Amino acid sequence: MKPFDRRTLSIDMGNHSYKIIEAVKKPDVHILRYEILPPEESGAAGALAGEGRKLRYRTMDAVMSFHHESTVIRELKLSEKDDSRLPLVIEEEMLQYQTDFRKEYDFDYLLLPERDATGQRIAQTAAVSRSVNREYIEKAISLGLKLKAVDVQIHAALRVLHRLTDRCGELSPLSSYLILDLGCHSTTIAIVYLGKVFGSRVIPVGCGGSEGAPEDSAGCLSPILRNCVDLIDTFTYAYAGIPLQQGLVYGGGVYTGILSDLKRNIPLDLTDMGSFRSYFPEI
């Protein structure tokens, strides 16, 4: 990669496979290439390095994302008036999380420009277990990657959705969406609205990969279904009036039979993200 190249390489280090996404960030996000390393190669450093060389990357500016059950995404309302004290207040809140969950977290936050009805500042926070985060980071480093960032995967999906609603007339940008990432060993469920995540859960239940042979289809369907319904209920109760009619499903689990089961049991129009492939000619 040339020194002033604006390309970015993102690697989704899933339990089942590694997904490599090459994109440019400026002037706007533009995906150049998407690649999935098969399971037998995904753990091999040589394969990843080979892919990097093929894309003419120097393994710099790598962005890693993963989902894990320890991921916590919360919205904080801050009554603090002094903006300079906000980082301290947020840090205190996150320390409170650590005490409550009895776990150490790596966290980051975004201060949203808008305020709530009472004029309080809103901060969106994301945290992940420190030990898990470092385990993935060390793994990436051992593969020869020089990390620029560790992204929150559901937020990455949100950016894709944002691009999709810009291009696709079937998806209204004013609707809320259920996002379902069916991973191999874990599943992420979130409801998103206007570029924000309203509650997200990562459950340690996976669909067993894309071979079409789920580990235990009935066993994984039940907890996924329960959590989806629970999240939908919570959202509908908390944000009455915001339409929630559609859901987008992606991840290896889409290729198992679970999607049809989910469609039958969730009162939303669930669509495989892959069906919007035509809107992403670069993928």
Partner 1 sequence: MKEFNLLPREYQRESPNRSRIVVSVILCLLIWPTGKYGFWKPMETRKEKMRQLASYEEIVEQLPGLEEDFERKQAEAEELRSRIGAFQEMEDASPQHWQSICDTLMDSLPAGASLQELTCDGTRFLISGNCSYDTVSTEYLRNLKNSGVFSDVRMEKILYGGDKAVSFQLCCMLDSQEPEVDMNESEAVAP
**Residues at the contact surface with partner 1, assessed by CB under 8 A:** 3-4, 60-61, 106-110, 126-128, 130, 133-134, 137, 146-152, 155
The nearer residue to partner 1, 39 or 144, going by C-beta atoms, is: 144
Which candidate, 264, 253, 29, places its Cα nearest to that of 159? 29
- CB 155 to partner 1: min, Å: 6
- CB 255 to partner 1: min, Å: 29
- CB 13 to partner 1: min, Å: 13
- CB 147 to partner 1: min, Å: 6
- CB 23 to partner 1: min, Å: 13
**DSSP letter for each residue of 116-130:** -TT--EEEEEEEEEH
- Positive or negative, the CA dihedral 48, 70, 283, 33 is negative
Residues 6+ apart with CB under 8 A from 267: 232
- CB 169 to partner 1: min, Å: 24
The nearer residue to partner 1, 150 or 220, going by C-beta atoms, is: 150
Long-range pairs for 260-267 at CB < 8 Å and ≥24 separation? 261/217, 261/221, 261/225, 262/180, 262/221, 262/224, 262/225, 262/228, 265/221, 265/225, 266/178, 266/225, 266/228, 266/229, 266/232, 267/232
The nearer residue to partner 1, 63 or 178, going by C-beta atoms, is: 63
The nearer residue to partner 1, 149 or 213, going by C-beta atoms, is: 149
* Helix spans in 102-200 (H): 130-142, 153-167
The nearer residue to partner 1, 93 or 106, going by C-beta atoms, is: 106
40 phi, psi to nearest 5 deg? -70, -20
The nearer residue to partner 1, 148 or 263, going by C-beta atoms, is: 148
